[in-house]
Structure 1
Amino acid sequence: MTDSTAFDWRSFLLKWSGEWADSLPDSETRSADDEAARQARWLGLPPASADRIAAAEERLGRQLPPSYREFLKVSDGWRNAGAFVWLLAGTEEAHWHNNESGLADICSEHLDEDSRPEDWREADLWRRGLQLDVESDITHVLMDPEDVDEDGEWAVYTWASWRAEPPERHANFLAFMRDMHREFHSLAARETDAEPVFANDTTRELDTRVEEARLAALRGGWEQAEQTLDEAKGYGRPRAAGLRDQIRRLLGETYMVYFEGLVTDPRYAPELLPALVAEHAQHSYRDDSTLKFHLRGADDDLMSLAFATLDQVRDGTYRYAPAGPFGEAVDRARELARWGDSDEAWRTLMRALPLWEPLGPDHLAPLAWVADPLLGHLLTPERGRELLSTPRAGQPGGPPVPAPDLDPGNLAWLAEPDRGNNRTSYRFVLVEGVSPEELPGRLADEGEDGHDTVLNAPMTLWDARHASMGHQREFSSYDDKALVAVGRAGAGAGAGWSFAFDDHPAPFNRPRFVSPAATAGAGTRAVVVWSGLRAGPGEPFFHLSVAQDGAEQYAFTYEGGEIRRSGEIPAALEPDQFFRDTEDGSDAEAERRLLEAVTREFGASLPRHALTAGRLHTFTTRSWTRPPAHGETYMTLRLDPAPVHPTTVGRSGADEPESRR
């Protein structure tokens, strides 16, 4: 006996009928059939006899699927199957659709030999399906005799033109009826001001389970909680959607995540509103009408907060600042993330999470941090599961399985293709024993006021480049001023190295190149690496230079199959061992091995996640190329607001103005 044939149809249909009858206001005008059903507390019809079922099967030429047959034995048809099917067929009304609606022709009109098999099956459904809808709001219900499972059950498909979606599949007739019962509940629950109040055994049971799911989620049992909340949401229970969306958002899901019923509550808005606003800012393209829609019902104060938060998110100034011990940990995590230590920033948050305090009973986890420009990139689905598995808000539970670190703790990851294969050349400077804030003083020209260049606000390298180009007014064919991201070159504050990294360098010009290692290494050590082994057109190259106390100690440059070197290069970095057989296309392997050797030699690494997904401080270095020599031509393009000066071509020499040399 299958689950569908063992199902207690009478109890299920009696409960549905009673809930429907109790939901109707006394003053509502209804049809005679509906009024009779209300009085009888029964939406069904008399049961079908075995002879009637057999006669229907003989007429149709097919044995009916098990769950539908069992249903007919209890009720030979059904009224108000959900909100849009007013009468469902019994033994006499069920008939083959045979393209009665003409939808088979419409669906197949644009099909050809390249169309998907499922598109052809959908078109043919309107010819082969058994029609069950008798009276409806332009809604079709068809059972598919060719979509059959191992128990002989036929799938049920529902479709309405006003939904503008493909037909919805239900595994069998029992699943369809359960879905229609859920649809009835969902729509009835929306009538919050209706009389009588929509409350019954089903709603009370679901509300109890929602509360149990809430507590389970706080104890770290988010998976079972999500399933319970998902079911309760389908029935329209008021707390379920907002609770479930908090779990979904921390799993990295954003589609249809609106924190319904909670985001407009002033208690929860400080945590939920930034997460909603951040997703809106990413996809809105400055059209804020959808944000107003998702915040419908919010008062003026909340709408003002929403748009103020939106402005902060868009300009990168939003800062997550909760109160208490967890808030102190957030501050520490922001400082770590600011200098590229994403993994330790995450661990700092997780260690403090048990101390986190919710803003109210329906607050499951800290969420506003995903809108913080320094913290939001820390979230991955794996980390979201770790957070959700951590007991919090004073609830008991076991420790979670930590999510894996995102940074490999080396330099060799730079030799791996990035997403889209955009990183084919890069360069960086490592400086030992100095903080990242000190790097502009070592690598940049003085500002217009005679002071060292200050660090730009944290942003992605892509955003930093575009912001820099928007403010640049002069371009020279000789200048090579790198826009670099800065941070700590290793895990933790005690790593000892800071870095300046450029992922989009200008073309390498060896005769004019001047390594910044010497100036960066005043009073300490500095390492410069510039790789273009995968740069595409042109000769592959790799440069390494190391300076101590302001003087270059050793360097080598590999380019075009030749190696130029200076100083006493340590055996571990001797270039011959990496570039012995480069004709066979092994430059990428040589790059990886070289970066591994540099990692071992200096104990420094670069934070992959912060550089590829995070936001770091940036500044512009002085030129990596020497000034033009006597007689060398160059070009300068200067753009003034008005008028625009034309391109100027010059030749370096004694007769040139000082500003042109």
Structure 2
Amino acid sequence: MTNTTPFDWQPFLVGWSGEWSDSLPGDGTPSTADEAARLVRWLGFPPASEERIAAMEDRLGRRMPPSYREFLKASDGWQHAGGFIRLLAGTTDARWHDNESGLADMFEEYLDDDAGPAERRDADIWRRGLQLDVESDATYVLLDPEDVGDDGEWAVYTWAGWRAAPPERYANFAEFMRSMHQEFHSLRARPADGQPEFANDTTRELDALVEQARLEALRGNWERAEHALDEARQYGRPRAAGLGDQIRRLLGRTSMVYFEDVATDPRYAPELLPALVAEHAAHSYWDDSTLMFHLRGAGDDVVSLAYAMLEQVRNGTYRYTAAGPFGEAVEQARELARWGDTDGAWRTLTDALPAWQPLGPDHLAPLGWVADPLLGPLLTPERGRELLSTPRAGQTGEAPSPAAGLDPDNLAWLADRDPHDNLTCYRFVLVEGVNPEDLPERLADGNEAALDDPMTSDEARHRSFRAQMVFSSYDDRALTAIGRAGTRWSFAFDGNPAHFDLQRFVSPAAAASAGTRAVVVWSGLTTRHGEPFFHLSVAQDGAEQYAFTYADGEIHRTGEIPRALDPDRFFGSREEGPMAERSLLEAVTGEFGVRLPRYAITNGRLHTFTTRSWTRPPGKGETYVVTGMTGDAAR
């Protein structure tokens, strides 16, 4: 690939012509023009003189932009620009388009009533543009005399109706021609049967660049590697897209990422197919034909594996595995994530990453874990950059600074009311010295004491609603997610509680505290007035020790409340109630040494179960409503 300046046309055009000539099949029947071009190894025409260019500018009434003008001095026109333009105009054939195609009317019809000046200007290109395509496959090429850069260059716009895409813009004519050279390479990169191998100085230089980029990526220099792979991908070089997609996927860029050629290779399929099918599952609910399109060329074994993984991803049973020490770290990380320690899970993976080994030379990083229901939520763009910046597979380099943890070491984040967290109300139970999996036997009865598989809060609510057949206005069973709340505590958290009713509320703290301590916190809005409220209760060995509820501007308390938690310190007036929540949560954090994992609760997957009702049964003379659903209605 010749490294030239944009205006160094001669070596660029000579190189392109030679590559084109060498790529023609020997047994074909070329046109007279093509045969002549092949014999002289030149796709262009004689250079245009300054007088000829000046005459053209007089005819058109405008001085031509610099890069097109310099091109004309090297060749007065061009054949086979890319794959769909057979002839580009020189000084004689360039002409104002003047909406000859009627495309200005078509694009204006697509404009909304509130379309701005820029959108209307784009549609008007078909009236003001200078047309450069002379012979093409229904492809238009226009220079825009009103889209001019500081360097005096006119933008180039191309459009073909069969591409079903908006016009493509290039900053100048030189950039357009470089892109057409890349398109020519991309179309020749995989020659059909009977065609000569497409190999030349450009392809050899690019292939060496791809290999160097692979090593740079494994050393942690992913930005340099991505830039090189993107350049090679523009020329259609094998490996470039498949390697580059691995980097893009770990950065969270999922659009148009298909791991070309690599995912369908049996060596790499176990690592790359999970990421491919997980993205497909997230956006394709009824039609799986697009998955087969991206698996074209794959053998039966790879296709079968892909569909098996697709079923596992959809039903939440996919489990990522890896070999060696990194595989051991994967299992440890999954167990940590299972109980909410997503920061610890991520550190476990990254600490083991230097020992990770690729499945082959086209494998840059572990990827299958992004489809794992417990490990996948760990990925953020920042963490993806950290992973890619970590030297691995025996390569050396500077280790990156660890990405910042996502979980505050406290409870106060619950008061932030972040709209992304969707936690305007919440309640939770903390139990000391008890494993999370033991919470259901303390807070639930019968069959409801069983844990559900880990799922997001939305998935859990949807599943619970579909399973519940009877709803009672007196029944307030909490659907809770469970996990670890620090080194000695476990939690059961409900991020979508019912409205609080002080007259019927029964704290689950006492029942949860057999042989230990339990803490209950509930913050939200009262049923009657929609005013903020806050409840705290603490129990030990099956008996409530103290509690208070701030509701409707009043404080209701029982037991001897420690000074650090005394509600009088936080609720001095009715107006201060909502502002006291953060301070109270900080006080609870300090008193018991507890925290809640924000990221796991709001973005991850946790085990869930349904507690006993947090309200007492109806008393004598109290009425309530019970509604039921048939099985068909529930579905």
Task: Name the SS for the 1:634 alignment partner.
Answer: coil
Structure-2 residue corresponding to 1:601: 591
Q: Does 1:627 align with 2:617?
A: yes
Match of 1:103 in 2: 103
1:210 matched to which residue of 2?
210
- Tell me how far 1:633 sits from its aligned partner: 2.2
Q: 2:255 is paired with a residue of what secondary structure?
A: coil
Residue 565 in structure 1 maps to residue 557 in structure 2: yes
Q: Does 1:482 align with 2:467?
A: no
Counterpart for residue 24 of structure 1: 24
Q: Judge which range, 235-244 or 151-160, deviates more.
A: 151-160
- Which of 441, 450, 453 is the equivalent residue of 1:454? 450
Aligned to 2:94: 94
| 2-structure distance, mates of 1:193, 1:51 | 47
Q: Which residue of 1 aligns with 2:570?
A: 578
Please identify, of 198-207 and 529-538, the stretch whose mean Cα deviation from structure 2 is larger.
529-538
Q: Distance in 2 between matches of 1:588 and 1:190?
A: 66
Secondary structure of residue in 2 paired with 1:396:
coil
Describe the SS at the equivalent of 2:606. Answer: coil
TM-score by length of 1: 0.93
Which of 496, 500, 508 is equivalent to 1:508? 500
Using the alignment, how far apart are the partners of 2:440 and 2:299 within structure 1?
47
Matches within 5 A, 1:534-553: 538-553=530-545
By how many angstroms is 1:291 displaced? 0.7
Bigger drift between 265-274 and 629-638 goes to: 629-638
Q: Which of residues 505, 513, 528 in structure 1 aligns to 2:520? A: 528
* Shift in Å, 1:4: 9.4
- CA separation in 2, counterparts of 1:19 and 1:519? 80
Instruction: State how far apart, in whole Å, the 1-side matches of 2:254 and 2:528 are.
Output: 37
Answer yes or no: is the 8 Å Cα contact 1:533–1:591 preserved in 2. no
1:134-153 aligned at under 5 Å gives the runs 134-153=134-153
Give a deviation string over 1:80-128, Cα, whole Å, max 9, x none: 1111111111111111112221222222235476212222111221111
Deviation at 1:573, TM superposition (A): 1.3
Alignment CA distance shift 1:218-1:88 (3 Å): same
Cα deviation per residue 1:205-229 (whole Å; 9 max; x = unaligned)?
Answer: 0000000000000000000100110
- Are residue 358 (structure 1) and residue 348 (structure 2) matched? no
**Is residue 2:166 matched to residue 1:166?**
yes
- Contact 2:453/2:608 (8 A) holds in 1: yes
| SS across alignment from 1:563 | strand
Once the two structures are superposed, the pairs formed by residues 313-352 of structure 1 within 5 Å of their partners are 313-352=313-352
Q: Quote the offset at 1:457 in angstroms.
A: 1.0
8 A contact 2:500–2:525 mirrored in 1: no
Q: Distance in 2 between matches of 1:284 and 1:622?
A: 38
Matches within 5 A, 1:385-534: 385-419=385-419, 422-447=422-447, 453-490=449-486, 495-533=487-525
Deviations 1:571-609 (A, max 9, x none): 2211122222333xx544221221111111111011010
User: Any gaps of 5 or more consecutive residues in structure 2?
Assistant: none
Mapped to 1, the partners of 2:106 and 2:99 lie a distance apart of 10
Divergent runs of 4+, >6 A: 3-6, 534-537
Say if 2:602 is the partner of 1:617: no
Deviation at 1:419, TM superposition (A): 3.2
Residue identity matched to 1:130: L
Going from structure 1 to structure 2, the CA distance change for 1:341 and 1:182 (only over 3 Å counts) comes to same
Deviation at 1:520, TM superposition (A): 0.8
The Cα offsets for residues 447-505 of structure 1, whole Å up to 9 and x where unpaired, read as 3xxxx822111111221122122222332222211111000002xxxx11100000111
Instruction: Find the counterpart in structure 2 of residue 258 from structure 1.
Output: 258
TM-score if structure 2 supplies the norm length?
0.96
Whole-angstrom distance in 2 between the partners of 1:136 and 1:485: 62
Amino acid at match of 2:521: V
SS in 1 for 2:335: helix
Deviation at 1:641, TM superposition (A): 4.8
Q: What is the Cα deviation at residue 30 of structure 1?
A: 2.1
Distance 2:371 2:365 in 1: 14
- Change in Cα spacing, 1:111 to 1:614, as seen in structure 2 (3 Å) is closer
Taking a change above 3 Å as real, the CA distance of residues 421 and 396 of structure 1, as seen in their structure-2 partners, is closer
* Distance (Å, rounded) in 1 between the aligned partners of 2:84 and 2:250: 35
State how 1:62-73 maps to structure 2 within 5 Å.
Answer: 62-73=62-73
Distance 1:609 1:77 in 2: 60
Pairwise CA distance, 1:638: 4.4
CA distance in 2 between counterparts of 1:150 and 1:642 reads: 67
Range 183-192 or range 76-85, more displaced = 183-192
Gaps of at least 5 residues in structure 1 are 645-661
CA distance in 2, matches of 1:480, 1:637: 14
Change in Cα spacing, 1:6 to 1:431, as seen in structure 2 (3 Å) is: closer
TM-aligned CA distance change 1:333 to 1:424, over 3 Å: same
Number of aligned pairs? 632
CA shift digits 1:627-646 (9 cap, x unpaired): 222232233334565999xx
**Contact map agreement 1:533 1:587 (CA 8 A) in 2:** no
Q: Kindly indicate whether the alpha-carbon contact (under 8 Å) linking 1:142 and 1:157 is maintained by their aligned counterparts in 2.
A: yes
Cα distance change of structure 1 residues 20 and 587 upon mapping to structure 2, 3 Å threshold: farther
Letter in 1 for 2:316: G
The alignment status of 1:190 with 2:190, answered yes or no, reads: yes
Correspondences of 1:260-279 after superposition (within 5 Å): 260-279=260-279
Shift of 1:164: 1.9
Change (3 A) 1:82 1:402: same
2:42 matched residue in structure 1: 42
Equivalent pair of 1:424/1:533 in contact (CA under 8 Å): no
- Measured at CA, do residues 55 and 420 of structure 1 come closer, stay the same or move farther in structure 2, by a change above 3 Å? same
Q: Is the 8 A contact 2:80 2:87 kept in 1?
A: yes
- Residue identity opposite 1:526 in structure 2: A
Q: Distance in 2 between matches of 1:143 and 1:641?
A: 65
1:241-256 alignment runs, 5 A limit: 241-256=241-256
Q: What is the identity, as a one-letter code, of the residue corresponding to 1:623? A: S
Q: Is contact 1:5-1:67 (8 Å) kept? A: no
Q: Is the contact made by 1:485 and 1:618 (CA closer than 8 Å) also made in structure 2?
A: yes
Amino acid at match of 1:114: D
Shift of 1:190: 3.2
Q: Tell me how far 1:60 sits from its aligned partner.
A: 1.4
Please name the residue that 1:282 is paired with: 282
CA distance in structure 1 between the partners assigned to 2:148 and 2:325 by the alignment? 58
- Cα distance in 2, alignment partners of residues 535 and 77 from structure 1: 78
How big is the shift at 1:133? 0.8
Paired letter, 1:62? R
State whether residues 424 and 535 of structure 1, in contact with CA within 8 Å, keep that contact through their aligned partners in structure 2.
no
Amino acid of the residue matched to residue 348 of structure 1?
Answer: T
Query: In structure 2, the residue corresponding to 1:241 is in which secondary structure?
Result: helix
> Residue 189 of structure 2: SS of its match in structure 1?
helix
Corresponding letter in the other structure for 2:67: S
Q: 2:288 and 2:392 mapped to 1: Cα distance?
A: 35
2:115 aligns with 115
Q: Is the 8 A contact 1:518 1:549 kept in 2?
A: yes
1:527-580: CA deviation from partner (whole Å, max 9, x where unpaired): 100000599962321100011221111111011111101111112211122222
